[in-house]
Structure 1
Amino acid sequence: MTLLDDEELYQLVNDLSETCFNKSFQHDVRFNHRLRTTGGRYIPAKRLIELNPKYATEMDGSEFIGIIKHELCHYHLHIEGKGYKHRDKDFRKLLKETGSPRHCSPLPSEKKGYNHVYTCEKCQHIYKRKRRIDVKKYRCGRCHGELGYNSS
């Protein structure tokens, strides 16, 4: 799926709102390039839906549509004055009725393994870490031997 412009994005959200909720969407929706760990968010004070553009480009269309439906559940329940937060009964009920996902799948680009590999020089145990550690400060958790850095 290609990245939509503002008008196309609003039209997609409004079409989904009318199809799934039988209500029109009358406020703002936009892409937020700073979102990293979530597919989208609804800001009640501004009545604004922000969507992560990476989900539109990297994932299939059904995942992105599911995120929009999830945020529309927040939106419509907030407008109606009902419980719109994740823990609220109204919200969970509306998610089931509309077939909206409770959580989005992780992005393929964000799925990273480890970057740094350390080996205990005494017992040869291997430690795989995302972040670097100071080998002068930390020791092996099994035998308290010194750690050596290996490139991954």
Structure 2
Amino acid sequence: MGRPSPYMVVAGRSDAVGMESINGGNVGYYNSLMDAAWSHCGSSSCVIITNPKGFRTQSRFHIHYRHQSGYGKSLKSKMEAKVCHAQGWHHGDFPCGGQAKLFSGHVGAMSAAMGSGGIGSAGVSVWPQACGGHGTIILVTYHCSIEHSIAIVPAH
């Protein structure tokens, strides 16, 4: 399986620092960045990832899009077991105290994540084509990064 290349979308706006920059007035801009990442990696084997404040390698807001690692596939299966046939946000043995929810089709990922509560200190991962291709799982995690455990990290 080939890796998507490149593997990152970086915000063009200088005031786009990180998840803590997102609010109701600018969430559309961040949704458009997630859509750009999704356009590069929107299959069921992909995951789209943002890291929370304190767990980033650069100061400008950026989104990673990558193929899932073995653990990423396992986590997706665990989330699907909880959310595919149930509504609302679900907690339970997800990394970093995370909560997950299934959304129908392709969604405005950051707007959807905001529905979980505050996302300023959170990371957001988007799992396209979940639940047999019928929806998207949004996983909101807190105070840690799961990027290197859920995704195949390209060599630099």
Higher helix share: 1
Normalized against structure 1, the TM-score is what?
0.28
Q: Answer 1 or 2: higher relative contact order, Cα 8 Å, separation at least 6.
A: 2
Larger Rg: 1
Bigger proportion of residues as strand: 2
